Amino acid sequence: MFGKLTDVGEKRDFMGAFMFYVANVVVLAGVSAVLVHALGMFGVVDGASGNIFESGTVQTQVGSLFVLWLGGMILTKRGLTSDLFSMLIVGVALYLAWTSSVFLGLVPLALLTTINK
């Protein structure tokens, strides 16, 4: 069930896009927590670095990389790499993830899954 929610190649309706968003927020929180903790243990990150909900610098970088990776996966899997509008949506998602909130950056990607191929 969780694999179906995170499948980037599937076309969704609005409720499916919402569930895709929620599933990827859960994945992002887990990946970010583990990665930031591991980077802290190896001494790459200084001090205690909180969690994804505090929007620290490291969490913003990890989250933005996740948004970029997820957007690239959506574009590649659905064959939208030559569609300029879809690439613009991924660019907007990355901009929102970097400047506002990683959670806000995932919204355009969830809406991107509703667009036809």
Instruction: Say if 62 falls within a structural domain.
Output: yes
What pLDDT score does 9 carry?
A: 81
Instruction: Say if 27 falls within a structural domain.
Output: yes
What pLDDT score does 58 carry?
A: 82
Instruction: Say if 4 falls within a structural domain.
Output: no
Q: Provide the total of helices (H) and of strands (E) in the chain, helices listed first.
A: 5, 0
Instruction: Say if 117 falls within a structural domain.
Output: no
Q: Which residues contact 78 (CB under 8 A, 6 or more apart)?
A: 8, 9, 11, 117
What pLDDT score does 34 carry?
A: 86
Q: How many domains does the chain have?
A: 1
What pLDDT score does 1 carry?
A: 62
- Write down how long the chain is: 117
Instruction: Say if 40 falls within a structural domain.
Output: yes
pTM above 0.85, yes or no: yes
pLDDT tens string, the chain, 117 residues long: the values are 667 777 888 888 999 999 999 999 999 988 888 888 888 888 887 655 566 666 677 888 888 999 999 999 999 999 999 999 999 999 999 999 999 889 999 999 999 999 887
The parent domain of residue 53 ranges over: 11-112
Handedness of CA 47, 51, 53, 57 (dihedral sign): positive
